[in-house]
A = this chain, B = another copy of it.
Amino acid sequence: MLALSRVFNFSAGPAVLPEEVLRQAAAEMLDWHGSGMSVMEMSHRGKEFTGIIAQAEADLRELLAVPANYKILFMQGGAIAENAIIPMNLLGARKVADYVVTGSWSVKSFKEAKKYCTPHLAAGALQGPFLAVPPAPTFDLSADPAYLFICTNETIDGVEFHELPDMRALGRPDLPLVADLSSHILSRPIDVSRYGLIFGGAQKNIGPAGLTLVIVRDDLLDRALPICPSAFEFKTVAEHGSMYNTPPTYAIYIAGLVFQWLKRQGGLPAMEARNIAKAELLYGYLDSTDFYQTHVEKAFRSRMNVPFFLRDESLNEDFLSGAKAAGLLQLKGHKSVGGMRASIYNAMSIEGVQALVTYLKEFERTHG
């Protein structure tokens, strides 16, 4: 057996997980809590797994302070599937939904909605560069849209909402705010009651790919179109405790271990403090030099996904190969944006960001 050598993994997703979680999963792989079974082998309806999913839901509800009138659903398909599943569930008799587009992910959401309704671009643009969140008072809202969609952290572009649109201040207290939180869910406390629905693919800040979380206010459960597949109808999923179809049991188990790890860290206030410290360390260094450049406006920079560019892009390959040699992986930017990107999710330690900054300095010293 090789000596274990873990790297610092800056992947945008699937992404780094807490080492404690992986160690526990490995230790329990053949025999979960004396059951004689792996979690992968358990009937989803048996008492072992129903205990695992109930604990995961309770921990998530506690971490996010989810109000009692919101359902937590464990689904499949990721955010890209939700881009269709959400209009199929929320349109009801309405034909229009409003979208604020602040990056590559909300562009996808807007385009997919065309299959089911007329999406209206309330703010933002369908082409980048995406560098800021438009101020809520400038939103051009439709007369009676089914919902207002936002993506509160754009993984590819590195644009984050640090303030939510205030639907009361906009004079639309009853317009449900629907938000894709895939890449920053659980990175900070949020006020769930300000949303109609939040969702996220698990593979960035929660756990393994193949699990999708949906948290939905229960008055929104009876608006599904007849064409919505039963397996993806929120009401059906809610009524069956996320077991209308077989849920992704092992991914739920891992997510549950991550929720318990988050609680041991001190919950979301502690994670937010740590994430702010990590982001300040990295952006602080990037701002201190012209050798590296960032484009997103400071007020809208993501704490989770940090795109940056070498001033001399002919050095990109050298930068990446040197990073790899230093144990700093998956720093290449998304192909639509180019340059570099460091994703520094909950499970990325401050030591990982320090190691990255050390490398940034050293690379600049030797190539500047």
Q: Which residues of A contact B (CB under 8 A)?
A: 1-2, 4-7, 9, 11-17, 19, 22-23, 25-27, 29-31, 34-38, 40-44, 46, 76-81, 83-85, 88, 112, 115-116, 201, 203, 207-211, 226-232, 244-251, 254, 327, 329-330
Contacts and interface: CB of A to CB of B under 8 A. Distances in A.
B14 A246 contact: yes
Contacts of A23: 29-30
A35 B14 CA distance: 15
Main SS at interface, chain A: loop
Task: Among A22, A26, A208, A254, find the residue whose CB has the most chain B CB atoms closer than 10 A.
Answer: A208
A3 to B, nearest CB: 9
Nearest to A16: B41
Contacts of A12: 43
Contact of A81 (B17, B115, B227, B229): B229
5 contacts: A17-B41, A40-B209, A77-B77, A77-B229, A208-B249
Given A211-B210, A229-B115, A250-B208, A41 B14 contact: yes
A31 B14 contact: no
Contact of A38 (B17, B112, B329): B17
A188 to B, nearest CB: 22
Contacts of A244: 80
Contact of A1 (B6, B27, B115, B230): B27
B230 A84 contact: yes
A359 to B, nearest CB: 16
Contact of A31 (B6, B31, B245): B6
Given A4-B30, A6-B30, A26-B30, A247 B209 contact: yes
A210 B251 contact: yes
A207 B38 CA distance: 12
A91 B35 CA distance: 45
A17 B40 contact: yes
Looking at A14, A38, A211, the one whose CB has the most chain B CB atoms below 10 A away is A14
Closest 5 pairs between A and B when the two form their complex, measured CB to CB: A210-B248, A84-B229, A7-B36, A26-B29, A80-B245
Given A6-B36, A12-B43, A209-B247, 19 more contacts: A5-B34, A5-B36, A14-B40, A25-B29, A26-B26, A40-B209, A40-B254, A44-B209, A76-B81, A77-B231, A80-B246, A81-B245, A83-B231, A84-B230, A115-B227, A116-B227, A209-B250, A210-B246, A210-B250
Given A42-B11, A227-B116, A81 B29 contact: no
Given A14-B44, A30-B19, A46-B330, A246 B203 contact: yes
A22 B30 contact: yes
Contacts of A85: 229
A36 B16 CA distance: 11
Contacts of A22: 29-30, 38, 40
